[in-house]
Structure 1
Amino acid sequence: MQNKICASVAKSKKQKPYLYIMSNIQLIIEERPSDIGNFLVGRLLPFREKRLVGPFCFIDHMGPAAMNEHQNIDIAPHPHIGLSTLTYLFEGSMMHRDALGTEIEINPGQVNWMTAGKGIAHSERTPERLRNSDKFLHGLQIWVALPKHLEQMEPEFFHADGDDIPTWQEDGVDFKLIAGEAFGRKSPIPVYSPLYFIEIKNTEEKTLKIGDSLFGESGLYILDGSVSSEGNTFGPKNFLVAKDSKLCEFTLAPNSTVYIFGGEAFPEERFIYWNFVASSRELIEEAKQRWLNQEFGQVPGESDFVPLPPQSKNVK
């Protein structure tokens, strides 16, 4: 029997931002507001009941946000270890600079993939050409944890244009394989563990059966429109986390956009502190000291940096 998204819902008395599902869906995570300085995002992962989905350990929905000539994104140089960052914009532009000397503007449909490995610092800012004008920003920022044997690899950076990303249409549904492997296709993004990050769009109501192309753990984020199964409908800003990746049958309402994140889970636990992800607390403590000593390399063109958060913030 094929597993389906179906809902026998046990509601919490405290109105927690998720619902347990007595089917193939393990839980539903509602987007939660999170302040990242001068910008409010909707956070999907990490979540107290689900730290990772496959290797995905952090997913932020940025915007949609309209900014005037006095408002800009200015995230000063900050460090990462043990992960790759992926930036994917729907609208707007962002300037990326890192300690490798990379300086590149990311635009809608492109993919910025920075692998921190043993450690890298980078900044994210509104491009100079847009700083004194009205602007708009909307997209996803994602962290993908590295497998244990690659946690200490040398940092790398990769940029892909929209034309480089596999895109196809089946039965009136548009698919894009932003990263990883699925449906017999492979994205050019150099990932380091088995995973997939898929965009699905439609204009007319469609029922999809895609479970055979997925593996490991899987989650489906609804950006626009809705997803239905067995008489139950889930709207925008919900992240449906499956028990075994078999999101194999669901119906998209007209003009929906959804994203599927997933892949093989790691055998070891991952600890997250601030911008650090590691398989051991020792690696995180070491990274904290290195950042205090400013040993992550200088980002060209940058002189300030984000200070280490208070030591009272626990490693999770």
Structure 2
Amino acid sequence: MSNIGLIIAERSRDIGDFLVGRLIPFRKKRMIGPFIFIDHMGPADLGPEKYLDVDQHPHIGLATLTFMLEGEIMHEDSLGTKQRITPGSVNWMIAGKGVAHTERTPADLRNGRRSVAHGYQIWIALPKHLEDIDPQFYHFGSDELPQWHSGSTTFKLIAGNGYGKTSPVPVHSPLFMLEIKMVEDYVLDTTNELYGEIGICIVEGAILACDNEIKKGNILVSKVSDVCNIKVKANSHLLLFGGEPFSEERHIYWNFVSYDKNKINDAKQAWKNRTFPMMAKDRTYVPLPP
């Protein structure tokens, strides 16, 4: 047929008051490079009685990357961080051995007016030897991320390395995440620019890859070395994820990721017993799922 490895469609998942589009994990593809979880949130209409309220919940063994296309979220965590994220910027939380956090519509936006939340929630597994590092949090504004043009097409390197550039986001393994916006038809060539596995997520528009048209709401997964030149239709918006996969399998249960199932079991018990690192001023608690 072609060099296309897999096309994954978003599947609807309920996360409480919101439905999100789950891209990975997928039964035929659990990870793309070190990326182990990608949720497309929204676009969701908020207000006057519906806001984003993700109560306190835990993570281990991964880093979370929040990237908003529209709308704003307030992040707070057990490190004492309080950081508002705006469109185009990056919240990067390294969970390591354990962190808890909340994500909410900021207080000043709970004013009864309509707003929209639209973005991506992403988990990146940590290397085996770094799963137990101390948790950390970083924020980078949109103007701190490498951005460039190829004709009328704009590129932004959100995390990792690609196209000869490096994002300031402190990643722990070879990976990349890019945002690309096209005004006119464009031929995307990733040869010698990216590496490992690649997921091409169509946020808007469509691409033509190896005689297949792939539209909004899907992700094309392949090895960078296998991807044919991709023709991107005018007014399209893409996110590219990927990098070098790990040699060891990663296990995932709820919000916990590790190569070692015992670490996940320990985290489950700690969260259940409320001995997990908790936020000092937030009494909300998402119970461990059965």
The TM-score range, normalised by the shorter chain, is over 0.9
Tell me the distance in 2 between the aligned counterparts of 1:304 and 1:40. Answer: 21
2:103 maps to which residue? 124
Is residue 4–residue 220 contact of structure 2 (8 Å, CA) maintained in 1? Answer: yes
Q: Does 1:282 align with 2:271?
A: no
Tell me the distance in 2 between the aligned counterparts of 1:240 and 1:220. Answer: 5
Tell me the distance in 2 between the aligned counterparts of 1:25 and 1:248. Answer: 8
1:1-316 mapped onto 2 (5 Å cutoff)? 8=1, 23-133=2-112, 134-310=114-290
Is residue 82–residue 151 contact of structure 1 (8 Å, CA) maintained in 2? Answer: yes
Tell me how far 1:67 sits from its aligned partner.
1.7
Is residue 55–residue 103 contact of structure 2 (8 Å, CA) maintained in 1? Answer: yes
Is residue 70–residue 132 contact of structure 1 (8 Å, CA) maintained in 2? Answer: no
Tell me the distance in 1 between the aligned counterparts of 2:219 and 2:251. Answer: 22
Tell me how far 1:64 sits from its aligned partner.
0.6
1:314 maps to which residue? none
Is residue 212–residue 248 contact of structure 1 (8 Å, CA) maintained in 2? Answer: no
Structure 2, gaps ≥5 residues long: none
Tell me the distance in 1 between the aligned counterparts of 2:96 and 2:124. Answer: 11
Is residue 78–residue 277 contact of structure 2 (8 Å, CA) maintained in 1? Answer: yes
Tell me how far 1:293 sits from its aligned partner.
1.9
Is residue 97–residue 300 contact of structure 1 (8 Å, CA) maintained in 2? Answer: no
Tell me how far 1:170 sits from its aligned partner.
1.1
Question: Aligned in 2, Cα 1:150/1:221: closer, same or farther, shift over 3 Å?
Answer: same
Per the alignment, in what secondary structure is the counterpart of residue 138 of structure 1?
strand
Is residue 4–residue 210 contact of structure 2 (8 Å, CA) maintained in 1? Answer: no
Question: Aligned in 2, Cα 1:84/1:175: closer, same or farther, shift over 3 Å?
Answer: same
Tell me the distance in 1 between the aligned counterparts of 2:30 and 2:209. Answer: 26
Q: Which string of whole-angstrom CA distances, capped at 9 and with x for unpartnered residues, describes residues 123-156 of structure 1?
A: 1111101123221100001000000000000000
Is residue 176–residue 242 contact of structure 2 (8 Å, CA) maintained in 1? Answer: yes
Q: Which string of whole-angstrom CA distances, capped at 9 and with x for unpartnered residues, describes residues 169-192 of structure 1?
A: 012211010000011100000000
- Give TM-score, length-normalised by structure 2: 0.97
Is residue 95–residue 105 contact of structure 1 (8 Å, CA) maintained in 2? Answer: yes
Tell me how far 1:208 sits from its aligned partner.
2.0
Tell me the distance in 1 between the aligned counterparts of 2:108 and 2:226. Answer: 45
Tell me the distance in 2 between the aligned counterparts of 1:299 and 1:162. Answer: 28
Tell me how far 1:298 sits from its aligned partner.
2.5
Q: Which string of whole-angstrom CA distances, capped at 9 and with x for unpartnered residues, describes residues 54-99 of structure 1?
A: 0000000000111221101111110000000000000001110000
Q: Which string of whole-angstrom CA distances, capped at 9 and with x for unpartnered residues, describes residues 260-295 of structure 1?
A: 100010000000000000001111001101111212
Tell me the distance in 1 between the aligned counterparts of 2:32 and 2:44. Answer: 27
Query: More displaced, 202-211 or 150-159?
Result: 202-211
Runs of 4+ aligned structure 1 residues displaced above 4 Å come to none
Tell me the distance in 1 between the aligned counterparts of 2:56 and 2:225. Answer: 36
Tell me how far 1:230 sits from its aligned partner.
4.4
Is residue 209–residue 228 contact of structure 2 (8 Å, CA) maintained in 1? Answer: no
Structure 1, gaps ≥5 residues long: 1-7, 9-22, 311-316
Task: Return the letter of the residue paired with 1:201.
Answer: K
**Identity of counterpart residues, as a percentage?**
52
Task: Return the letter of the residue paired with 2:283.
Answer: S
Tell me the distance in 2 between the aligned counterparts of 1:246 and 1:179. Answer: 22
Question: Alpha carbon RMSD of aligned pairs, Å?
Answer: 1.1
Task: Return the letter of the residue paired with 1:195.
Answer: L
